[in-house]
Structure 1
Amino acid sequence: MARDQIKVPFGYEPPAESQKGTVLVFETFEDWTADEISACIAWAEERKFVRAIFYPQHEETLRRMEIRTEMPYYARVKQLEQLLEDVDSTLQIELDKWEGKRKKYTPLDTSLSFLTEKSPGPHFICMSDRYANLFVTYPSFKEWIKKARLVIFTQFRVPLHGKLHDYAERWETVDFGNGS
């Protein structure tokens, strides 16, 4: 097989890669609407991410995190699948159901390790303000905030934990237009 000759001007440097990493979205997704999903995906497209992984958590995990949910895991997944079907995007959108297969409590560390191993970096962990306030209290938070950036969407309008301010350069807040 012959190789094609490519001519480039002297001093040519290939353009920098404009696509980057993966957004990992952690939430119950119980009360999300199509507008909020669209806003989240539009934000990820604007930031030129390659992939967005939506990761609903099992009831056992939520119960241990003291997050109340009225809908069972399978119903939330089905609802999220329907919302994601209607989205037209250039992103690779994935709904990860690993925690549903486990059917038990899955520590956040385990979920993050699983997702970061199978997807290209850099990684951005996107979670609501109530999730972020819990996450910052976990012993592994210091390790994860160094590996991935944190994106906090202001869904519940709760004040952020004081420890977050120690890592102010590693996180940001966004508003996906949630009316909650």
Structure 2
Amino acid sequence: MARGNSMVPFGYEEEQPKRRGTLLVFETFEDWTDHELTIVLELARQRQFNKIVLYPQHEDSLRRMSIACAVPYYKRVKNLEKLVEEAGGKGAGESRITIDTWEGKRKKYTPVDTSLRFLTDKYTSPYFVMMNDHYAVLFAGYKGFEDWIREVRLLVWKRFGVPLPSKLLSYSDRMDFMEENGEEAGGN
């Protein structure tokens, strides 16, 4: 088998990719408008993420997580698709945004660690997981949290003013915080 060696000029350095990593957004997406999507797109532009994955969760998953959601899964997905389409029309880079509907195909409860395993197998690393403060508190209480916080970087969006537990804050070197308006914030 031929190796395919190629000649390069002396001092050549391979150009590093300008964009890197995948932003995985865990949310209900129940009350999302173009404002919330714009905040996520701006964060992705600032941090130069390669891919944005919006991951709506099924009603059964939300119910088991004690997260209230009155809008059915398929309506939340349709709303997201419409928002992404409108954002693409404004030149926001629609091709980088993906709505992953794997949980809709399963149609049952899917634990967060199973979802993360699926998403990290499917998309390129490094991984950044964006959750609102309510999701982050629940995530910190799960059994596999310590394993996952070593694999991903957590972006906690302080949308609801939920106080963060000490277990979550003990990993503050593996997470960043955003205020409700989308601006980067310091610690808790």
Instruction: Provide TM-score, normalisation by structure 2.
Output: 0.87
Aligned equivalent of 1:89: 92
Q: Aligned partners of 1:37 and 1:165: how far apart in 2? A: 26
Q: Tell me what 1:106 maps to.
A: 110
The percent identity for this pair of structures is 47
Correspondence 1:157-168 to 2 at 5 A? 157-168=161-172
Compare relative contact order (CA 8 Å, sep 6+) and give the higher one, 1 or 2.
1
Amino acid at match of 1:83: L
Q: 2:135 aligns with which of 123, 131, 145?
A: 131
Deviation at 1:14, TM superposition (A): 2.6
Q: Deviation digits for residues 78-98 of structure 1, max 9, x if unmatched?
A: 111111111132361100111
Structure 2 counterpart of 1:153, which letter?
A: W
Q: Which amino acid aligns with 2:92?
A: S
Question: 1:154·1:173 contact (CA, 8 Å) conserved in 2?
Answer: yes
The 4+ residue runs of structure 1 with deviation greater than 4 A are none
- Aligned mate of 1:170, from 159, 168, 174: 174
Name stretches of at least 5 consecutive residues in structure 1 with no aligned partner: none
Paired residue type of 1:68: A
- What is the CA distance between 1:35 and its match in structure 2? 1.1
Paired with 1:23 and 1:131, the residues of 2 have a C-alpha distance of 16
Structure 1 partner of 2:80: 80
Distance 1:111 1:28 in 2: 14
> How much does 1:141 deviate?
0.4
Tell me, what secondary structure is at the counterpart of 2:92? coil
Q: CA deviation at 1:154?
A: 1.2
What is the match of residue 186 of structure 2?
none
| Structure 2 counterpart of 1:72, one-letter code | P
- Aligned in 2, Cα 1:173/1:146: closer, same or farther, shift over 3 Å? same
Structure 2 match to 1:122? 126
Give the aligned partner of residue 59 of structure 1. Answer: 59
The answer to whether 1:150 aligns with 2:154 is yes
SS in 2 for 1:159: coil
Which digits, 9 at most, give the CA deviation of each residue in 1:126-158, with x for residues without a partner?
A: 110000000001010000000000001111111
Which AA in structure 2 matches 1:14? E
Unaligned runs of 5+ in 2: 183-188
- Asked if the contact 1:22/1:52 (under 8 Å) is kept, the reply is yes
**Residue 45 of structure 1: how far off its partner (Å):** 1.5
Q: Which residue does 1:25 correspond to in 2?
A: 25
Alignment partners' CA distance in 2, 1:78 and 1:98: 15
Deviations 1:25-63 (A, max 9, x none): 000000111011011111111101100000000000000
CA distance in 1, matches of 2:70, 2:19: 38
Question: 157-166 vs 146-155, which deviates more?
Answer: 157-166
User: What is the letter of the counterpart of residue 51 of structure 1?
Assistant: K
What is the Cα-based RMSD across aligned positions, in Å? 1.7
